Every structure is written in structure tokens, then in C-alpha cells.
A and B are shown apart, each in its own frame.
Chain A
Amino acid sequence: DTEVTQTPKHLVMGMTNKKSLKCEQHMGHRAMYWYKQKAKKPPELMFVYSYEKLSINESVPSRFSPECPNSSLLNLHLHALQPEDSALYLCASSQVGGELFFGEGSRLTVL
């Protein structure tokens, strides 16, 4: 299995909702990433986990809460989001320091 799988593909939520984005990989990668991509913009790094520990948090607001339950799974918990948080959220994984493999993304719309 050489893919990164993200669910759900699409998510619509209100500003008071709590939801989660999920990411899974079975390539044995020990680094996992969350990126945010707005339309016609490059991906922006949010979080990096290395060996299941959070190693980079790019000053992301606390309404985004990452979680890495094990080496294959990465979650992004969402709470009290704003409409400007609507974007494509990309998960990626890699060997530490290696090529990033990306999922197809979860397209989030906040109403």
C-alpha cells in the first residue's frame, strides 16, 4: 500500500461544530504532516509529527488540534472554526527527511 488515505473527502460544518479529519498510511513512514491549501495558493505547513511526537507547530490557532494515535494514523480535530478556515487540508507522510507522499485532501467548508 503506497497511498495516504484521507477521510472525509468533503466536510461542511458550522462554526460551533466539532469534527475531525483523519489520515492513514501503511508505508511505515515515521513522519506525518498537515498542510492547509487555499484555492490557487501553495500548501502551507501546519503541523509535523516525527515518531508520533509533535515536532513542528507553525503557529496554528488552537481551534485546530492535531493528534497522532500511532505511527499510521494522524487526526486533525476541528472546533469553533471560522469561515476563513475553509480550505483543502492535505495530509502527507514520509520517511524522516525523505520524499513527502500526499493524500487527496479533505475539502472543508465552514459556514
Chain B
Amino acid sequence: AQRVTQPEKLLSVFKGAPVELKCNYSYSGSPELFWYVQYSRQRLQLLLRHISRESIKGFTADLNKGETSFHLKKPFAQEEDSAMYYCFEPGGSQGNLIFGKGTKLSVKP
């Protein structure tokens, strides 16, 4: 079954430090991967999708098929980046629509 793994429950960094939130996937075909973010008391919202290769709020994510990873990166973290981040894989034709367990990012002043 398709699966996404986020190995870190919590990641704590200081403001201005680089951030990397890890996501690994197990998928036999061509995966379609997303990063969603949930700020405190706000709705879950899309941050990035791998096919668009865009940068949102300074975050980027590259699909690495060799390492089966889709890590989320930002060179300089800001306090407002503190939130819960979920890696998401729709699951292709089976439509499992699976979220990873999530990583809580805490950016300290």
C-alpha cells in the first residue's frame, strides 16, 4: 500500500536557521506529492505540490526518486512558520488520500 513517512514528530529551530522537514514515500509508480500546513486555529491548507515546482512562503520541496523523498526546505525560518506540516499522497488510482503523521515545526525567537 502507498505510504508517506514523516520521521520527526517535532522540529525546533531558531529564527533565521535553515529548516528541513522530511517526507519519504513508498510508491511503485510516479507519485503525486503535496505538503499541507495547519497553523494554530486555522484550516488545513495546501503549501506546495511537487508538479508545480514553485516556492511558497520561501519553502521549496524537490521530489527525489532515488531516495524516494519529498523533503520540505526553507533557508531561513521565521516565527510565523511555526505550524503542523503534513506530507500528503493522493494514492493514485486507489485514492487512499494518505497524510503522513505530521511534523510540528517550532521556530523560536
CB distance from A89 to the nearest CB of B (A): 12
- A41 CA to B86 CA in the complex, in Å? 10
Q: Are B101 and A42 in contact (CB under 8 A)?
A: yes
Determine, out of B18-26, B60-68, B74-82, B92-100, the stretch whose residues face the partner at the interface: B92-100
* B90 touches A (CB below 8 Å): yes
CB-nearest residue of chain A to B87: A42
Q: Are A42 and B86 in contact (CB under 8 A)?
A: yes
Which bucket holds chain B's interface residue count? 10 to 19
- A66 CA to B45 CA in the complex, in Å? 23
* A17 touches B (CB below 8 Å): no
Number of interface residues of A (CB under 8 A): 19
- A35 CA to B45 CA in the complex, in Å? 14
A-side contacts of B42, CB under 8 Å: 104
- A101 CA to B44 CA in the complex, in Å? 8
Contact with B along A52-88 (1 / 0, CB 8 A): 0001100000000000000000000000000000000
List chain A positions with a Cβ less than 8 A from chain B. 33, 41-45, 48, 55-56, 90, 92, 97, 99-105
